[in-house]
Every structure is written in C-alpha cells, then in structure tokens.
Structure 1
C-alpha cells in the first residue's frame, strides 16, 4: 500500500557557492543555530560520500568547529530528537533521516553549476535531426551516465507537436495504414479499421486535403475543425469531409503516454537498496510505468528542479529512493519532465545541476528539431 502522496515540493532554486541562505527564524531552519546547521551539513555530506554512519570524533575533525566531542554528541542527540538523524543500533554514529535530507536539500546544500565541458557534452549528445525517440533515449542514457543512477524522461504527448503530413495506404477492405509525420520529424504508423473499403485514389484525395488545409496545426484542432465543417457543409465537399472525419477520428488522436528509462541495473549495486524484496518492488514499478508517470505529471507545470525524498513520492516502491526532476521546454511549451531516480543517499549537489542542465539541453534540442 502506498502512503499518501506529498504535495510536490516548492521549486528548488540554486544558491551561490559559499554559505547557503537559510529559512525560518533567526535561529535558522527548523530552529537550528549555526553550530547545529554546520554539524548537520557536515554529517550528511560525509554520509553521502562514505555510506557509513558518522560519529562525533569524525565530526570534530571535519566540521571546522572548535567544540569538544562531548558537545558534538549533545548536539547530535538534539538533532536526533528533532527527527533529522537516526542512530543505527549497530553503530555509535548517526545517519540522516528523510526529514534530515529534506532540510539539507532545502536550506544547507551548496550547489555549483556544471563545468563547461559537461554542458558541452549534453549539447553535443542531444543533437537535432534524429527524431524524438532518439533524443529521449539519448537524454535518459546521459542522465544515467552522469548521475550513475536511473535516468527517466517522459515522452511528449503527440498533441504538443504540430501535424506535418499524412499518407494513407490500403491494406485490405477494412484496414488502412496511416503514416503520420509531425513537426519534430517523428513518424508514426497507425492501423485504421474502416467501415467500408477505400479506393487508392480516394485515400490520396483525403490525404491531399488534410495536408493542404491542416499542416502546421495540432491534432485536436484538426479534428474539431473537420467536425465543425462537416456539420455546416452541405455541398459537394460533404462526402470528402465525411470520409476525412472517419479516418481522422482514428488517426488524429494522441498516442499513449510513456516514458524512457535507462540505467535501472545501476541500482542493484546500491548498498541502501540491497533488500531483494524492496528492489523487486522498485523494478516492478519501473515496468508498470504508470505510477511513476503520474508522479512526473505532478511536476509538469512547476518551473525548475523538484525533489521527492523517500515517502514524499507517495509510492511504496519508491520509499527508499529519491527523485529529482525538471520540466523540459521548447517554444515556451512544457513538453515533458526528465529526472534521476536514485537512493536517498545521493549526491544532490551533483544530481541537481545535472538534471537542470539536461532539461535545458533537451528543450533546446527539441526547439531545433521543430524548426528544421
């Protein structure tokens, strides 16, 4: 059973390097003073690097604070009582909770932009001219390779791209093959079941009519216009319109929503996901796609990076992972969402700029694709 979904978190905004800003009262986020914030930041950063619980002796050396280990232990106890840390029974050290990660990401994280070489790699490996599926596949592979986790990209809905042309080919008396070309150079073949047989000349006439009058318009607009014209037209065009509507009702409809995943097997080597049953549930969710697509859909209209940590996803199989997402945009229109799925112990300072830069690069590539 999945837990109740959390509302998508407010868009994450990068902070300048150096001391991050804080929210809340004068004592900082969650009422923490500067020492507590520094210890929490140091502990979470250390745990992300090593995967091992962090103890007071390590924090005394790495935090840069001139305080005794005993003082550090007292502060850690307070952070644990606040629900930001937990202490595994096998270790004297502590690890962050989902709530601790949330405060870290929102208020304590320092993020640097991607180096120019990596930005150039994204642009170079997301070229226009190869069609939507190639772009999406490249984007998901790049996200996986650059984050070392799972890359996910939602497929744009077909109605978001203008219709370019259509051709019809008769298969038999009751079936017609429709070959659709869209403004992003994507080609789709669809089988139409018809109520009567079409002559080749009739199919050519209908295709010419649709291509001449409707190229550059959306599928929904074309269907609505055809139906409106059919209702008002009682001339010799009525028969052609009627036949065009019959084919358009089947062919000019959006395809099913989908997403492209890459790098699922990378999670098999993650220490925190070593439980076989939990890993199986996660892979089953990848295979079904539906729940993850719904989660991505919740972030479509949110500008910038969004982060779900553990149970914030509202999906039981994803309770042990985090999802970092950003929408990709072309021509001022949100086409879809991409992101990275990985353990809650991920290097957020690395993954966040990768996701944002990949969204920018994919949007730019789609913009070039539709202008070709």
Structure 2
C-alpha cells in the first residue's frame, strides 16, 4: 500500500522519520502482536532481528517509538504492543500486501460463484466464507433499493391475508404477508398483480415507488379504490421504510471467541457483540464504504461504533451489471487481524460477487 503521513498530535510522522533499525524493531513488535496478541519485550525482539542488537539497544529504540505514539506498555511489564495509531501506520506504510493465494481463490470461487444461486444465497455464502477463512465475523450489506425487479404476484392465503411475492431480475425472491379487507374479490388481487407487472420490470424499488405515487396521484392508474390500496400496501410491504431499505447479513460471530487470551479479551468481544446488535449503526458504518473505489480499513476508534471493543473492519464495495455499487462486504474482528491476508481476500470476494451479480463467468 502507498505510504501516508500519519498525524501524531499536531505533528506528522512518515517513514523518513524512522531509521531502518526503528522500522525493523517496530515491525517485529507489530507482527508479534498480530500473531500472538501478547506484548513483546526487548529480549525477544532482539532475538527476532536479523541483525545483532542487544536488548538494551532495543529498549532505547522502543522508548523512541513509544514517544512517537506507535507503541505502548499495557501493564508495568517491559512488553510493548502497537497502539491503534501504530497499527494504522504499519498497515499504510510498512505492510506488504501480496496477491490472494490460489487455495483461497478456489475456495471463494467454489462457494460464492456456484451456478444457479439466488442473490440472497450469493451474499450469505460470501459472508459465511469470509468468516470461515479469516476467523472473524463476516458481514454483507445489500442495498435493496438497487435490486432490479422482474415480477410480482399476490396470492390469497386466508380470507383476510395474502402473500406478496417479489422476484428480482437476479433471482432474488422476497415474500411478505399482507392483511387484506374481508370479502376482497380474487379479481382485485389479479388486477393488482397485472398492474404492478406492467410497471416494474427492470426498475429499482425506488424508481417504481416514485412512478406509482405519480400515477396514483394523477389518477392515471385505472384501478378502483380497493385495488389501489392493495397495490400501495403490497409495494410498501417489500419497499420497507428507512430501517428496512438495506439488508445486513452477519455470519461467524462465534469465531471471535476462538482465541481469547484473557478476561480483557472476553470483555472486548462482549462489547463487539453488543455493537453488532445495533443494526442501524452497523449499516451506517458499512455504508461509508459505498463511496470508496476499493477496500477500506477502519482500525479501533477510527470508527466510533467499535471504539470500545477495539475492533477492526475491512470492507469493500461490490457492483451490479451496470457497474453501480449496490452493497459492501468484509469482516469485523479484533485489531490483530491478519491484514496482509484479509485485505486481498475481501477485495477478491467483492470482485467475485460483482461478477456473479453481473451474470458473468470466469476469473
């Protein structure tokens, strides 16, 4: 990734501010943390370095790195951990991100790009796959308003209830139960279905909603009052309101319990679980990636939602056949995620999902 200046208080730090020795020691501290989650002391760092350096010399450099705000001592021990700022500096300036390996590529292709999958299934598979491969929580945010519609059907279930079935052009099927007036003739349901099917094909929910509102207000819809109410209620049932215009899929939260080191870790995971329950805020956070061209990384308190749990989020947008961003996917986990492996994995999964939604094949 490209190098960036990182703000430290009122000043800036760049790679040029660190000697080669400081970079090596800082890298060892971060990589040790990402592997073990534990603080590392000067003696262990000196053993890991390729050049011979005494623990005392390492301690001097660690003191300088601490002054810069890149590392800290979590307790009174001599061990050090990277700060959130240090992790950001490492990810942006020092980490080498390679290509996704062939085994992970094959796993993603096999699970996400299977033939004949519905829109819902593709997204669910993507979320579960990322969770399994990264041992974190996999998340997908789908913008339902961007789904292109194909067919609608009203089916009576009981005298006062009907089923509304919506089929999108990419194979997604949604069902809603709709209350209907007692004694409503079956012909009204048929007429409502025919009217909607004449207006919705190839349009998004937002486009259809606007067109129907205009048609009904202008009296251009040749429907009786009762059928108009069925059309409006049926459309509202799968348009959703502000809280239902996006679909959030979270898979694999249990992976976050796999590698707890202490009671402090358990408390952070509990806080993260609480954060994930605040659906609206998670959606708002993930929605910020919809304005990005590629992978976005939020570390710890860089996003307010996960600041208490000290979690990182790695997400990337995916697109439809017209090249429009229609959602985001990625992972949420501890700050010691394997960034070098997870970043290209999230990026590749987003590309595979985009290809599936575009009806394309190949790699």
The interval holding the TM-score normalised by the smaller chain is 0.7 to 0.9
User: Which of 337, 340, 349 is equivalent to 1:349?
Assistant: 340
1:333–1:143 CA distance, 2 compared to 1 (3 A): same
* SS at 2:294 equivalent: coil
Query: What's the offset of the Cα at 1:94?
Result: 1.4
Aligned partners of 1:273, 1:324: CA distance in 2, in Å?
25
Question: Which residue does 1:267 correspond to in 2?
Answer: 256
Query: What's the offset of the Cα at 1:103?
Result: 0.6
TM-score (norm 1): 0.83
Aligned partners of 2:12, 2:67: CA distance in 1, in Å?
21
Aligned partners of 1:293, 1:65: CA distance in 2, in Å?
47
Aligned partners of 2:231, 2:355: CA distance in 1, in Å?
31
CA contact 2:192–2:231 (8 Å) conserved in 1: no
1:327–1:200 CA distance, 2 compared to 1 (3 A): same
CA contact 1:313–1:319 (8 Å) conserved in 2: no
Deviation per residue, 1:237-284 (Å, 9 max, x gap): 6335x5554233222242413322222112113335743443323222
Question: Which residue does 2:293 correspond to in 1?
Answer: 303
Aligned partners of 1:330, 1:40: CA distance in 2, in Å?
42
Matched, 1:337 2:328: yes
Aligned partners of 1:282, 1:23: CA distance in 2, in Å?
29
Q: CA RMSD in A?
A: 2.7
User: Which of 88, 101, 111 is equivalent to 2:87?
Assistant: 101
User: Which of 133, 136, 151 is equivalent to 2:138?
Assistant: 151
Question: Which residue does 2:275 correspond to in 1?
Answer: 285
Q: 5 Å matches for 1:1-372?
A: 14=1, 21=3, 23=5, 28-29=14-15, 31-65=17-51, 67-89=53-75, 91-126=77-112, 127-154=114-141, 156-172=142-158, 174-194=160-180, 197-233=183-219, 238-239=222-223, 245-253=228-236, 254-255=239-240, 256=244, 257-271=246-260, 274-275=263-264, 276-315=266-305, 318-331=308-321, 332-368=323-359
Note the residue ranges of structure 2 that are not aligned, 5 or more in a row. none
Query: What's the offset of the Cα at 1:27?
Result: 8.0
Query: What's the offset of the Cα at 1:349?
Result: 0.9
